[in-house]
Amino acid sequence: MFMIKGINKRNISSEIAHILRSVDNHSNIINGVYIDESLREFFLLKEEIVIPAIPVSEIDDENTISLTAIMSGLIPEFLKDHFYLEHKNPRSEQHAIHFARLVEGRTIDMVHMLRLDFKFTGTSGTIITSGDTGTYPSFSTDRLYYKSRLVPVVKGSDISSFESLRLKDAVKVNTDRRLFTSVLFDEFNTREISIELSRRAGSDNFRIPVTIYPFITYDYFTACMNIPLPFSGKITEGALILEPLFLYLYCEFKNSECTVQDAGTHWKESIDVNDGIIKLNSEFKKKLSSFFSDYNVYTDEELMIKGCRRIAEV
């Protein structure tokens, strides 16, 4: 197991920045992207790695650096151009390591968040040493759980403390089972909201059912885009799709005349505005469909036994 001892806390960011600079021109060592029985995404590694015992309070500095070094050898293409966030966003993910990349847009910016989760759960792997009241168990695993999302943010936001563009303070969501209003969305299961957002973006644009993997997902109090395979080019391409799509969704929720006109002015090739009503035009809908239809979900008998599905490009 790769470990680094005696790291000075003041040098954490610079140590990790040095590691991240080393990822250029290296290839990933994974067997693809999967979702488990609880619909959580993970990279399937080609061989097992050892995750050390992590403090229950939060991942410590030494393990943050050692795990980043390991990740730089496993998913260098996904870490490329990313910046380490010393202050996690969201702060609740105390056992994850967060990386961010800023993508500038025309009217808004976007931040790609890559959040790697190292907290032990029942499906994480095989326990090597038991945990106690102060630490989680160390374990071996071939799964690296993660979230990869493009987040719409205020133009000119600082990547280390960005401000997301919130859709609305409260949104009513209809489901087959209930109607609820969320004032603080994270008080509820935001999956229903993610499914609703994906449906508003056009369910027929996705090969993967939105109930299994909603590409437009609710996080950071706004409509984000899942990027299952976060290669640099895919992040850039996704940002060009998300900005006009987000402006369309934002105008629907906010009902802001100013935002409608701004969107129509800066995205004439993608958005039509007539009598104050914003619509995605046919050419953009084709781009939208083409981008999302690149992905599909696959399974076979072996995967079904494991309760997993594979997400892959068509």
Over the stretch 122-139, which tens digit does the pLDDT of each residue have? 777 899 999 999 999 999
pLDDT at residue number 258 = 56
What's the pLDDT tens digit per position in 259-282? Answer: 777 787 889 999 998 887 888 999
Structural domain contains residue 218 = yes
pLDDT of 256 reads 62
Strand partners, 146: 116
Structurally, how many domains does the chain consist of?
1
221: left (phi over 0), alpha (psi -120 to 50) or beta: left
Q: Per the domain annotation, does 91 fall within a domain?
A: yes
Within-domain flag for 163 = yes
pLDDT score recorded for residue 4: 42
Report the run of H or E that residue 146 belongs to, with start and end.
strand 138-153
Query: Rounded to the nearest 5 degrees, what angle is found at the Cα of 43, between the Cα atoms of 40 and 44?
Result: 110
Q: Is residue 119 part of a domain?
A: yes
For residue 295, what is the enclosing H or E element? Answer: strand 295-298
Q: How confident is the model at residue 203 (pLDDT cuts 50, 70, 90)?
A: confident
pLDDT 10s digits, 22-60: 998 899 999 999 999 999 999 999 999 999 999 999 999
Residue 2, in any domain of the structure: no
**Are 39 and 69 within 8 A, CB to CB?**
no
**212-231 pLDDT, tens per residue?**
999 999 999 999 999 999 99
- Which residue, 241, 243, 251, is CA-closest to 295? 241
Q: Which domain holds residue 23?
A: 9-313
- On whether residue 197 sits in a domain, the answer given is yes
Strand 171-174 and strand 83-84: the pairing is unpaired
Percent of the chain past pLDDT 90, that is, above it, reads: 70
Report whether 54 contacts 63 (CB < 8 A).
Answer: yes
Q: What is the pLDDT of residue 180?
A: 42
Whether residue 68 lies inside any domain: the answer is: yes
In a domain, 216, yes or no: yes
